[in-house]
Structure 1
């Protein structure tokens, strides 16, 4: 009964389906985010929404660590090279002319839109303006993704601890956005290291963190501000309609696993040194859960 209550409180009423992104466009967006060839299938999906946020987060983390490849269960070896770094406005090669030289590590992922997306909870924020309205999730401000179109992911009743994380009450997790290219190189890495009420010591700790790797913010970054996420988001050209799109993942973040950085609009899931690949993946899975794929036409 409690699970159902959390579920009904978690999502707004859906918008008309005619306003929602084409499923083929959504698969292109997943391809752009993950670096995989995401294709439609009538069978069960090869990966879950949680797998996709894992892949996006882990690829960014391991790229920061200087690695060139990532091993992921059921997919094998994934390249960490961003194929369109040189040209953000070119379509991923696999969506246009097929794999080119050096793309042998680009995995193919089969996704069934019926079991991956949850169209009942799609929501089109494209023409919505919240103004001074305030929304809360987990007793923290929720900045809704106004200007974006959200394809809902099928995550209800997929976790052992129920669905309250996806609700609107005090037990819900706050909303965060993953902007793909967010990392410590953007000057967003200082975490509170010392008593916030003791300003001299806080400033000393902040200065020390500039030269100390451990306090520099090793981990996965996200933001509660959709405008910040948009600055670092992935862009791709659609084969469906030939238009340019931005794509961002909308997640909930476990407040017990999150570190607030010196900048209020940046959150960090800290990953300590010496963790194995499996342990790193577990940290991400316990901290970040996706529930929406956001698209915005440029």
Structure 2
């Protein structure tokens, strides 16, 4: 089970506020975070929660979370085909789900959650599952991820989420380093979305349309009737700063290889070169052949000189 310190840090990341436990500092001035306010603020980015991370809020963790429905997906390596609300449900393998206390919080009952316990099939009246990531900047991050109704929405004004966990993780998940245990985590919201009010503008993207000109109360009513966060997913990941400096291989950790300096001298061994003279030049002979030719010339020269001496000797006799 995730301890209280991690839960408070996750709430701070999602809400954009520095949140303290109510029992830890009961005399601390500031607003108290309720379940309803947290649900609305994480979607619309406004409500009783300030958009500045510097502000302090108090919360009773036991009133916001429901550990009875926590689920540890970190040890699961193989997914089973599941359906929720007649839509494929991508189970969050590798994540830990901290369940929010949402039972009996809405006037239409709990049918949208479906029955308790493990099952692969969908139940009548159950809503499908969608995912959304947020950021440390609270409402500012929600606008960036198209989760809040706004004028920048690419496919119509409304609230955006996705049934694909990998897409939410890649595009929208927030990474933070815990001050409680020093580990690094990613955070994603897990929601249920009303299929009767949902549109599918593009593949793997779901939209709850929100018309312009509505009051805050009217938008809040749309949110409560259409999309409801029911869990917070966290996953331990490697610190980006550590991964950029250290390379891990198996059970060993080694420093990254240092590339050679561009100014360091380099020793280059050229390939062997074969020289072929042009066709109009005589081909050079080997050294042994040259020595043989030289000896032949000497012998001929000695014979020639002997012949000359013989001729001169004959001339002297005649005279």
Say whether 1:178 aligns with 2:116.
no
1:184 & 1:32 partners in 2: Cα distance? 15
Asked if structure 2 preserves the Cα contact closer than 8 Å seen for 1:183 and 1:221, the reply is no
Say whether 1:216 aligns with 2:164.
no
Partner of 2:32: 46
Relative to structure 1, the CA distance from residue 214 to residue 236 in structure 2 (aligned partners, 3 Å threshold; closer, same or farther) is closer
Relative to structure 1, the CA distance from residue 290 to residue 213 in structure 2 (aligned partners, 3 Å threshold; closer, same or farther) is closer
Deviation at residue 177 of structure 1 after TM alignment: 0.9
Q: What is the CA deviation profile of residues 99-152 of structure 1, one whole-angstrom value per residue up to 9, with x for unaligned ones?
A: xxxx6xx43222212221111111000121234x21111121111111100111
Asked if structure 1 preserves the Cα contact closer than 8 Å seen for 2:176 and 2:184, the reply is yes
1:184 & 1:35 partners in 2: Cα distance? 13
Partner of 2:86: 139
Q: What is the CA deviation profile of residues 68-94 of structure 1, one whole-angstrom value per residue up to 9, with x for unaligned ones?
A: xx4x23x4x534xxxxxxxxxxxxxxx
Say whether 1:29 aligns with 2:15.
no
Partner of 2:78: 130
TM-score of the two chains, using structure 2 as the length reference:
0.61
SS at match of 1:261: strand
Relative to structure 1, the CA distance from residue 48 to residue 226 in structure 2 (aligned partners, 3 Å threshold; closer, same or farther) is farther
Partner of 1:164: 111
2:33 & 2:194 partners in 1: Cα distance? 22
Relative to structure 1, the CA distance from residue 293 to residue 215 in structure 2 (aligned partners, 3 Å threshold; closer, same or farther) is closer
Q: What is the CA deviation profile of residues 8-38 of structure 1, one whole-angstrom value per residue up to 9, with x for unaligned ones?
A: xxxxxxxxxxxx2222101101101110111
Asked if structure 2 preserves the Cα contact closer than 8 Å seen for 1:49 and 1:291, the reply is no
Say whether 1:280 aligns with 2:248.
no
2:21 & 2:68 partners in 1: Cα distance? 20
Q: How does 1:57-136 map to 2 (within 5 A)?
A: 57-59=43-45, 70=46, 72-73=47-48, 75=49, 77-79=50-52, 106-131=54-79, 133-136=80-83
1:214 & 1:179 partners in 2: Cα distance? 16
1:154 & 1:116 partners in 2: Cα distance? 6
Asked if structure 2 preserves the Cα contact closer than 8 Å seen for 1:183 and 1:220, the reply is no
Q: How does 1:230-245 map to 2 (within 5 A)?
A: 230-231=169-170, 232-245=172-185
SS at match of 2:101: coil
2:41 & 2:110 partners in 1: Cα distance? 22
SS at match of 1:216: coil
Relative to structure 1, the CA distance from residue 185 to residue 28 in structure 2 (aligned partners, 3 Å threshold; closer, same or farther) is closer
2:34 & 2:91 partners in 1: Cα distance? 24
Tell which has more relative contact order, 1 or 2 (C-alpha 8 A, sep 6+): 1
Deviation at residue 185 of structure 1 after TM alignment: 7.1
Relative to structure 1, the CA distance from residue 49 to residue 247 in structure 2 (aligned partners, 3 Å threshold; closer, same or farther) is farther
Match of 2:41 among 51, 55, 74: 55
Structure 1: which 5+ residue stretches go unaligned? 1-19, 60-69, 80-102, 190-211
RMSD over aligned CA atoms reads: 2.7
More deviation, 242-251/212-221: 212-221
Partner of 1:98: none
